[in-house]
Amino acid sequence: MTTRSNSAGLAIAFVLFGVLCISLNDMLIKSLSNGYPLHEIIFFRSAIALCVSFVFLQFEGGLSALRTEQPLLHVFRGVLVVIANMSFFLALAVMPLADATALFFAAPLFITILSIPILGEKVGPIRFGAVLVGFIGVLIMQRPWEPSETLEVSRIVMLLPVLGALTYALNQLMTRKLGVKAPASALAIYIQLTFVFVSAFFFLIAGDGKFAATVTNESLQFLFRAWIWPSQQDQWVLLGLGVNGGLIGYALSQAYRLADAATVAPFEYIGLPLAVFWGFLAFSDLPTWEVWTGIALILASGLFVFFRERVKAKRVTPRPVARRH
């Protein structure tokens, strides 16, 4: 058994911690979405998270670890993360926390499928069938049988978390490819820098709120709302978001560099019950039957794949020895 195989337990611990931090992050951003623009929240969160990531970097080789032979791939990975986060948060502003999170959990399904062409991993027919069941759950949550006018939010908004899931999956698979030569802290820094630059760009073109005056959609209002200086209470929330963001970037980067995507991804499902918990505690929201059904199918498909492989005493997917994110 290789060193990387022995790292699976540590990778699982990192992903569980990272998902806990993500659930807190989502709840806090939703709580701020009525008063601040998304790009302002992201700017403060990422700037603080960047400082946290530099602290981690000192324990993983210092500034020299930031050198890379694949700068364009890091830029591409950063863009994928920005799209994933912005898509999800725009939906989160108008959807219940559990609903948006459940739709976003198409990501582990995408990871399993995309790991075939991107990483050369093998997915047998039983695993493939389980993934199909998970996608049926995603379809049920989209409620295709209902006319659009009876839905609480538009179908485009309901698809935003799915777009986020797809780009998040691509990001994690890119992390696996890049991580063989870059420490987790460096990968997190590249991501946070991308967020800072993108949110600063949004400030320059939309920070005065001029575009918000021309739209009525709540998600677009969240995106284009004018910047305002945070209240003293919200400054602490933003500080907590930033520290939390730094922990998320490091924990997930470590998880996906220590083990293959299909081993780590099933443990992200802990985010589903956490989203239900925070949604009820903070916003008094509970999922509809469609969302409960989708959650059940996604959980069942993911856990079936994981436990089937573990019972057979095999790695979930083959992976190369020593390297990665």
pLDDT digits (tens, 9 = 90+) for 30-62: 999 988 999 999 999 999 999 998 998 888 888
Element (H, E) at 324: none
Q: Which domain holds residue 151?
A: 3-311
Nearest to 317 by CA among 122, 138, 66, 110: 122
How do residues 103-119 score in pLDDT, each as one tens digit? 998 887 888 888 888 87
Give residues with Cβ within 8 angstroms of 52, minimum separation 6.
242, 243, 245, 246, 247, 250
* 78 assigned to some structural domain: yes
CA distance 53 to 189: 6
Q: Worst-scoring range by mean pLDDT, 175-179, 295-299, 319-323? A: 319-323
* 319 assigned to some structural domain: no
Nearest to 202 by CA among 48, 82, 32, 294: 82
* 115 assigned to some structural domain: yes
Q: How many domains does the chain have?
A: 1
* 317 assigned to some structural domain: no
Using an 8 Å Cβ cutoff, are 115 and 177 in contact?
Answer: no
* 324 assigned to some structural domain: no
How do residues 16-26 score in pLDDT, each as one tens digit? 999 999 999 99
* 137 assigned to some structural domain: yes
Average model confidence (pLDDT) across the chain: 84
Two tokens, residue 177 = 């490819």
* 98 assigned to some structural domain: yes
Exposure b/e, 29-46, CB count within 10 A at least 16 = b: bbebbeebbbbbbbbbbb
With 50 as the cut, is the pLDDT of residue 198 above it?
Answer: yes
Using an 8 Å Cβ cutoff, are 179 and 187 in contact?
Answer: yes
Using an 8 Å Cβ cutoff, are 261 and 111 in contact?
Answer: yes
* 154 assigned to some structural domain: yes
